[in-house]
Structure 1
């Protein structure tokens, strides 16, 4: 293996490990040493590849945001019927929630601290397309008439609230991780029945 490939593999290992600790285990305050130990590398390698713990945090956060935006774009700009787009979005994000149950919490926390990455032009195009399709579905009678923004808020709320509030809800409801995962798996059909008339 060339030195360049080895460097890329080590860098990816560190990023993947940080992502697992932050998003998979909810250890947002994991130290550079803890990340290095979990990755099985020397702590100095984190500084070598990323210069600092904060820089690593920012890179992992930017990657997560970019990945989420790209997945959303692929679905919204696909040729799937509208209800199937919503179903596909639910599949993707509920599956992601299994692997990274703390991702939504982390992203909200980071955004509240001003760490936000957005391509506003792409987001505007995405929303325009989504709102247009919502309007067409209302004309067909498959969803209730309302402002398109309200439909979007309903969709996001039904999906994101159980994800972002997971630790609190799981503790308050006194249920296991496995039971909560089962509840999340049942969310897809419940959300589709809530949003669509048929």
Structure 2
């Protein structure tokens, strides 16, 4: 098997697993179900990933790394803080359309101790974010509070409706499309909640 075919097959398996795990919420899908959906032989999953659990772990780690990478690009940019938050919301809500169950799984994994591997990089990123939040508070663009509280508000307003989607969608009697629309409306609500100006 050529190197390109190997890379393509491995990527196909990972992409299919992401769709099944995080797009459809089928966390207990078998290697056979993933292989069938990818149109490959089940032995190829064992060849590339050794087990279903290792495949699951790999796609989760890559999703986490991608989220950190995109967040870092935004935080490191020269944009004003409100624009950074706006861009982050665009990316976050776009991702939740594609993978509505990813946030649920990430919360579950965090509760089991699977936090970011590079805690130092995350702390550096947060320190920079806290500094920008503090400066915006001094300018009167954000209500005065500990910067950590701003981050908690931001994360709660963003993640909670996504991670609780199955419950909210069911109890509110929404279809998938109606709940997607509700999430689309959240960006402006979140910005108006977090920022004074």
Q: CA deviation at 1:3?
A: 1.2
Alpha-carbon distance between aligned partners in 2 of 1:146 and 1:47, rounded to the nearest angstrom = 51
Tell me the C-alpha RMSD between the 2 structures. Answer: 0.9
* Aligned equivalent of 2:45: 46
TM-score after normalising by structure 2: 0.98
Report the equivalent of 2:130.
131
Displacement of 1:57 in angstroms is 0.8
TM-score normalised to the size of structure 1? 0.97
Q: 5+ residue gaps in structure 2? A: none
Aligned to 2:72: 73
> 1:116 deviation in Å?
3.1
2-structure distance, mates of 1:193, 1:25:
32
Unaligned stretches of 5+ residues in structure 1? none
* Structure 1 counterpart SS, 2:185: helix
Q: Distance in 2 between matches of 1:124 and 1:109?
A: 21
Runs of 4+ with deviation above 4 angstroms? none
Tell me which residue corresponds to 2:96.
Answer: 97
Tell me the CA shift for residue 109 of structure 1: 1.4
Aligned counterparts of 2:16 and 2:25: Cα–Cα separation in 1: 12
Q: Is residue 155 of structure 2 the alignment partner of residue 156 of structure 1?
A: yes
Deviation string, structure 1 residues 32-57 (Cα, Å, up to 9, x no partner): 01100110111000001111111101
- Looking at structure 1, the residues matched to 60 and 124 of structure 2 have their Cα atoms a distance apart, in angstroms, of 23
SS of alignment partner, residue 126 of structure 1? helix
Q: Which residue of 1 aligns with 2:55?
A: 56
CA distance in structure 2 between the partners assigned to 1:161 and 1:128 by the alignment: 23
Deviation at 1:120, TM superposition (A): 1.0
Q: Distance in 2 between matches of 1:139 and 1:50?
A: 51
Aligned counterparts of 2:40 and 2:175: Cα–Cα separation in 1: 33
Structure 2: distance between partners of 1:113 and 1:120? 16
Tell me the secondary structure at the aligned position of residue 78 of structure 2.
coil
The size of the alignment, in residue pairs, is: 197
Return the alpha-carbon distance in structure 1 between the equivalents of residues 127 and 115 of structure 2.
21
**Other-structure match for 2:18:** 19
